[in-house]
Amino acid sequence: MTAIIDPPAATTIDPAALADIEKFERLMAQYQAGELDEDRWRVFRLANGIYGQRQGGTNQMVRVKIPYGSLRPEQLEMLATISRRYSRGWGHITTRQNVQFHFVALERIPDVMRDLASVGLTTREACGDTVRNVAGCHLAGACPLEVLDITPWAEAAFRHFLRHPYAQRLPRKFKINFSGCATDCGQAMFNDVGVVAVTRALADGTTEAGFRVFVAGGLGANPHPAQALEDFTPREDLMATLEAVLRVFDHFGNRDNKLRARMKWLVDTLGIDELRSRVLKERRLLLAAVGWPGGVPAVVEEEGDEPAGISPTGFEPGSARPGAVPVMISGGSPYARWERANVVRGVARGTVSAYAHCHLGDVTAEQFDGLAALQRRLGAEVRVTNRQNVVFRGLDETQLPELYAALEALGLGRPGAELARDVVSCPGADTCNLAVTQSRGLASAIDTALDDAGLAEVGGVRVNISGCTNSCGQHHTADIGFFGVERRAHGQSAPGYQLLLGGHLGDAQVEYGRKALRLPAKACAEATVRLVGRYAAEREASETFTTWLDRSGGAPALAASLADLAEFPAPFANPSFYVDYDETGPFNAEIGISECAG
């Protein structure tokens, strides 16, 4: 079982965190007094994880970094406190293992920061042109397929880059993700740096575990797949490699055009061969740099990175998690359905892990408190996932009934976490300045429609939604993806979505979804039901959605089968098509100024 890695021991708030908070208070006072201009204040505020909302005024979104998703009970309890005391009673798990709170008054931000720092949590560099939260596979140390437990490596990267001189004012945001095997549950393949644990054969017939580092991936309106830096990076060279990539981005990234400032654009301007050459040269010369980490980090040496153990049965390629995912899991008792869908078992360490399903990634204050109490009672580890759920790890078989009963009581025990009903969505027009549509409302509508059709527990299919083209909901990587667009029909503005099909992540590669057709927002749930229904009915044994899609004629053929849903009715015939989800008046695509999309 992977140990829960504690931050450096302290009896009070970490001095560096306290200095951050006191500086925030000073500059906030200057800003409120008109002594600090808006542009400089915004850059500083974002670098401290505080993001403006579309509602304007003093409303702020607070983004809390949860490195590789790991949380201790006292941290869960503090998230409950933040929800109650400063926000609207609940928090939101993001696709990068952060937790966000909305509608926090600006003047209360320093108090939020102090409360978070008292349990070792921070908002520092959660937004802005910084090194963002270090994400990692939520089953690391418990996965039956992993090559290495990436937990201590992700912790080492988090510690190294927090407040790092190069991490403060980059050309654009910089994201690092870790995966313990080529299944890539940690989503390494579409980030600025993606680290995947691999092995290589040695001359004496043995194997060596290390990493394959991928660079310059990214989503957004123009997605780029990450590309391999080299075939194999030894463990002792990994941290130097990460710093070398960051330095090259800082030196050569575009500081004049934000739209072409992410690292993915360096591939277009320099070419991948030149980019590789510069990174490897930077790494070779890091020996002379004061900040060079050197060798295997101490936390890795202390905690160890041995894998959980190889599964003798393998897993279904393209499934949401290790372990074969059936076409349907309906039938049997509620507990049996949950156990089949939500439990993952390791081998060598005898690990048992189980998911709690968090609808739309939302967790109430009461649920945060309940999860903390349950974690203490079971002696378990807890991590948030990049599909906006919570996973309990380090369990034994006898604890599963108690866990299920407690999750049911908290409203988190639905079977199907990471299956069809587990729709991922960005916050959308509820709070985001860039969103065109209410993506959260559509996600709820799809969940309900799949449930009504008896398809909510179909395995092997993922649905992701973004409220605009920027892919904060990672729509490009989903089997069924949607992003919000404004439509014009019968002379009126109306909410709509572009449907994409066939996105896939795994086997150390990424395939982005292909455009199918544009649909009215109110037709997207029916389109999803048709697609999932056909897949469930037609797929062959162990056939992935991508393989079925190709066999069925690809995105164009599926688009043709949905063409009847693409037309808007006349406004007098069905006025609801001209009103977005969770809205009461006519649709209006209001887009504000971006601060740090995603």
Query: Is 50 exceeded by the pLDDT of residue 11?
Result: no
**pLDDT per residue as tens digits for the range 150-193:** 999 999 999 999 999 999 999 999 999 999 999 999 999 999 99
Which one is the CATH code of 424-578: 3.40.50.280, 3.30.413.10, 3.40.190.10, 3.30.200.20? 3.30.413.10
Antiparallel, parallel or unpaired: β 492-501 and 50-52: unpaired
> 129-153 burial by CB neighbour count: b if 16+ within 10 A, else e?
bbbbbbbbbbbbbbbbbbbbbbbbb
Gyration radius from the chain CA atoms: 23
Q: Distances in Å between the alpha carbon of 279 and those of 153, 172, 236, 288?
A: 20, 18, 16, 15
The correct answer on CATH 3.30.413.10 for the domain covering 145-303 is yes
CA dist., res. 470 & res. 95, Å (int):
13
pLDDT class for 325, splitting at 50, 70, 90? very low
Write out the H or E segment, with its range, that includes residue 559: helix 554-561
Segment 506-513 shows an average pLDDT of 88
The pLDDT score that the predictor gives to residue 312 is: 43
SS3 per-residue string spanning 241-258 = HHHHHHHHHHHHCCCCCH
**pLDDT per residue as tens digits for the range 535-570:** 999 999 889 999 999 999 999 999 999 999 999 999
For the chain, the structural domain boundaries read: 15-117, 145-303, 424-578
Do domains 15-117 and 424-578 share one topology? The answer is: no
For the chain, how many residues are written?
Answer: 598
CB atoms near residue 316 (< 10 Å): 18
pLDDT class for 320, splitting at 50, 70, 90? very low
Query: Is 90 exceeded by the pLDDT of residue 38?
Result: yes
- The overall longest dimension of the chain from CA atoms, in Å, is 77
- What are the tokens at 182? 């080529």
CB atoms near residue 294 (< 10 Å): 12
Segment 378-406 shows an average pLDDT of 96
CB atoms near residue 589 (< 10 Å): 18
- The pTM for the full model equals 0.92
Residue 376 DSSP SS3: helix
- What are the tokens at 393? 């790890």
CA dist., res. 334 & res. 448, Å (int):
18
**pLDDT per residue as tens digits for the range 563-592:** 999 999 999 999 999 999 988 788 777 766
CATH topology of domain 15-117: Sulfite Reductase Hemoprotein; domain 2 (3.90.480)
% of the chain exceeding 70 in pLDDT: 92
